[in-house]
Structure 1
Amino acid sequence: MKPCSILIVEDHPFQHLYLQNLFSTLGNFDLAFARDGEAALACLKSRDFDLVLTDLLMPGMDGVQFIQGLAAHPSRPALAIMSAASRRMLMGASLVASNLQVKVIGLISKPVNAAALRCLISHLQSLRPTAPAATL
């Protein structure tokens, strides 16, 4: 099975490296990075992803505006939202996404830790279609 493809939408370069290192400890993933919502929407036009992991607080197009753009995208990947903001803000953004028929599979408080990503990946893998068993 091909690795899960994940688009990480995060404006801080340090967070890119940090998340890349965390994911590398958890397995083999096809990671792509976008620095803001507009760049992420452009990435989504060029290829499909299994998951989008987005920050909420970004300059320019913030996470909620990005979620609105994601809802208009024809092939909607699963969504996980991360933020250093309050849990209430994460829940509010999740509610917006759900109301727009975007499937939210994770809410992660920053700083992100390996256990939170492990749980997220487990949930993502449970959503992926399994290949039919080969017949002999």
Structure 2
Amino acid sequence: MDAFKKKLETIRNEAEAAKERAEKAERELAAIRADIATKEEETHSLHERVVLLESQLESAETGSSDDKNKLREIELKTEDLSRKVRTLEKEHESLISKLDDMTDKHDKAKHELEETLRAMDEM
């Protein structure tokens, strides 16, 4: 009888630990999804600025020679924003990868919890 109680207690502890891991994974997953959404918004915003600056660049190229300084500033801003877009895209890819990993961990923890609960029900 004591062995049964110990086994039951062990299974309960494992179930609780699996539940805690699953909840933690869900919280981390939600945080990563929020971060991805933020990065996507930033990427979109920067992309719109790049388009605007490219449009300004085209206008400046057709303008007079007095606009050369302005043109150079716009080129520099465009280059800078393009670098930022590339950086954000890399971060986005990294976050997607993390999201996939966290989803896998969440699914594994959830599966472990379900197996533990199933084992408890069979007792």
TM-score of the superposed pair, with normalisation by structure 2: 0.22
Higher relative contact order (Cα pairs below 8 Å, separated by 6+ residues): 2
Q: Which has the higher helix share?
A: 2
Larger Rg: 2
